[in-house]
Amino acid sequence: MNGVNLKTVQEFLGHASIEITSDYYSHLCPSFKQNEVDKLNYKLSGIETTNLLT
In total, how many domains does the chain have? Answer: 1
Q: What does the pLDDT look like over 4-48, one tens digit per residue?
A: 788 888 999 999 998 998 888 877 776 767 777 778 888 888 665
Residue 54: pLDDT band by 50, 70, 90 thresholds? low
> What pLDDT was estimated at residue 41?
81
Residue 33 lies in a domain: yes
> What pLDDT was estimated at residue 49?
57
Range(s) of the domain holding residue 13: 6-45
> What pLDDT was estimated at residue 32?
67
Residue of higher predicted confidence among 46 and 3 = 3
| Burial (0-12, 13-18, 19+ Cβ within 10 Å), 37 | middle
Residue 14 lies in a domain: yes
Residue 53 lies in a domain: no
